[in-house]
Amino acid sequence: MTLEWEQVNVDAADPAALGRWWAEALGWVVVNDAPDEYEIRPEPDRLPGLLFVPVPEGKTVKNRLHLDFRPEDQEAEVARLLELGAVHADVGQGEQPWVVLADPEGNEFCVLGPRGGRPAA
């Protein structure tokens, strides 16, 4: 049996607004902009995607699953994401080489440093 990773579902108070934020943050494209299923992907026919769906309740605790991103320049990427509306998040990580941020609805994600601890070129 073979499985293909289709998407990650993200609960949201406002799926379209959160989906647009992530599309801008990642430079991805919108493939479905329905109010009850807002989906973005790296390219129209490339998987996996992120699917934002409406839920009535708000986020109350730390995510049980989160996304990690490894940019070329961690400091510049953190600054760009903060400018887009992300905020620093404390999930008890202490001093680490990665930065924990949260999207506009409070979903945590990490911006990692360079692979192997090497500084960015």
**The predicted structure's pLDDT at residue 96:** 82
pLDDT band at 50 (very low <50, low <70, confident <90, very high): very high
pLDDT band at 35 (very low <50, low <70, confident <90, very high): confident
Query: DSSP strand E in the chain: where?
Result: 7-12, 29-34, 37-41, 49-54, 67-69, 87-88, 99-102, 108-111
Out of 3.20.140.10, 3.40.50.720, 3.10.180.10, 3.40.50.2300, the CATH code matching 65-121 is 3.10.180.10
**The predicted structure's pLDDT at residue 121:** 45
- Return the CATH fold of 1-55: 2,3-Dihydroxybiphenyl 1,2-Dioxygenase; domain 1 (3.10.180)
Q: State the pTM of this model.
A: 0.88
